Chains A and B, each alone.
Chain A
Amino acid sequence: MKTMKVSVVTPDGPVYESDVEMVSTKAKTGELGILPGHIPMVAPLKIGAVRLKKGGSTEIVAVSGGFLEVRPEQVTILAQTAEKSEEIDLDRALRAKERAEQRLQERKQENVDFRRAELALQRAINRISIAQRKI
């Protein structure tokens, strides 16, 4: 089967690099599946999972925000943070989730950046569900 090169790059360095048969992920406009030979495209991503199909198995990378850049032979995902499912620190994500929830509870008080807490919660939930393979 035809493959394409996929790399997930973050400011702290490349996270994933391999040849895969299909990439599927959630863009701002909706679920997106990329096969080799796709026309060049750019799309912003949601906080979510990137699924990479390769030889019958699927690898999952958690990304929070960023871009998908597609070229016929290569797909690049530029994310602010990204972790492979097996590298996620579940304890840390659980703690982050608790913290974010607590902050959202206090939203009636002042000095709580509601939007930021919400994003933090989304990221934490995303990591947890990917680490537990619920997606």
Chain B
Amino acid sequence: MASLRDIKSRITSTKKTSQITKAMEMVSASKWNRGVMNAKAFVPYMEKIQEVTASIANGSKDSNHPMLNSRPVKKTGYLVITSDRGLAGAFNSNVIRKVHQTIQKNHKSNDEFAIIAIGRIGRDFFANRGMNVVLDITGVADQPSFSEIQDISSSAVGMFSDGTFDELHIFYSHYVSAISQEVTEKKLLPLTDIAASTKLTSYEFEPNAEEILEVLLPQYAESLIYGALLDSKASEHAARMTAMKNATDNAKELIDSLSISYNRARQAAITQEITEIVGGAAALE
């Protein structure tokens, strides 16, 4: 049986750990709240831009804008959104595993794909395995503003137009609820499957449809990326909150069971001491 002092020091260190995890849980809870709010605030913009893009793109089917037309795929781009920090349960590993599996399934060599990694964990994973990471972005704020993301998204869109890859897929963790997040894959570019909303309006274009598509499509793709990032941020904090809550609960359980064995050991020591004293006294008589 472990000595009293050993048990005591284990209890203290577990207690300290649980204080830290508890604090992290609270921090994540507040970040999660704001993350969800940001994601919600973005919905009206996304819906609107999707509606407009769908009606314009479907209205001018003959358009030969490069972002609307699929070309033979020689190289596939993967945009992977992970977090910068760990301790978020399976949040990062789920996304990474999905991407890794997809790549293993579809590609034989490193030249067939390119990875854009947002978040340190994802970048490190793919860079360590010598996979083709063409662009990595770390240190994205917890409440990213649209202008911050614009650099990322416009370079991703730029790589598609200059032929670095012929298709862009995005992988991120979609926020379902505080306890459940789903890894989602979306084909971002080319924009072949813009969901046509129920009622399509036929617009007049000022000056013309082609020129509007020229400006609108990159913006649409950028907002898709921004939306995915907000979604991923909300999931990250939800995942971390749950992970930290579990850690705190486990620590509590551990402390309880340690306290029991501490008390037992203490009781045993006292009993032993009494027996020794009684034994000693009996020997003197």
Q: Which of A28, A44, A71 contacts B201 (CB 8 A)?
A: A71
- Please give the distance in Å from A4's CB to the nearest CB on chain B: 15
Contact A76 B204, beta carbon cutoff 8 Å: no
Cβ of B281 within 8 Å of any chain A Cβ, yes or no, is no
Q: Given A42-B56, A69-B52, is A12 in contact with B145 using a C-beta cutoff of 8 Å?
A: yes
Cβ of A47 within 8 Å of any chain B Cβ, yes or no, is no
| Size of interface on A: residues with Cβ below 8 Å to B | 24
Q: Given A11-B146, A81-B147, is A69 in contact with B48 using a C-beta cutoff of 8 Å?
A: yes
Cβ of B72 within 8 Å of any chain A Cβ, yes or no, is no
Cβ of A112 within 8 Å of any chain B Cβ, yes or no, is no
Cβ of A40 within 8 Å of any chain B Cβ, yes or no, is yes
Cβ of A6 within 8 Å of any chain B Cβ, yes or no, is no
Q: Which of B52, B219, B226 contacts A42 (CB 8 A)?
A: B52
Contact A40 B146, beta carbon cutoff 8 Å: no
Contact B38 A12, beta carbon cutoff 8 Å: yes
Contact A10 B146, beta carbon cutoff 8 Å: yes
Cβ of B141 within 8 Å of any chain A Cβ, yes or no, is no
Contact A41 B48, beta carbon cutoff 8 Å: no
Q: Given A12-B42, A69-B52, is A41 in contact with B145 using a C-beta cutoff of 8 Å?
A: no
Name A1-31 residues within 8 Å CB distance of B.
Answer: 9-14, 27-29
Name B129-145 residues within 8 Å CB distance of A.
Answer: 145
Q: How far is the CA of A11 from the CA of B211 in the complex (A)?
A: 22
- Interface residues, chain B, CB within 8 Å of chain A? 38, 41-42, 44-45, 48-49, 52, 56, 145-147, 150, 201-207, 211-212, 215-216, 219, 223, 226
What would be 18 A-B contacts, judged by CB atoms less than 8 Å apart?
A10-B45, A11-B45, A11-B223, A14-B44, A29-B207, A39-B204, A40-B204, A41-B205, A42-B52, A42-B206, A42-B212, A44-B212, A67-B52, A78-B45, A78-B48, A80-B147, A80-B150, A80-B219
Given contact pairs A12-B42, A13-B44, A44-B215, enumerate 19 new A-B contacts (beta carbons under 8 Å). A9-B45, A9-B48, A11-B226, A12-B41, A13-B42, A13-B45, A29-B207, A32-B206, A40-B202, A40-B204, A41-B205, A42-B56, A42-B203, A43-B206, A44-B211, A69-B52, A78-B49, A78-B52, A81-B147
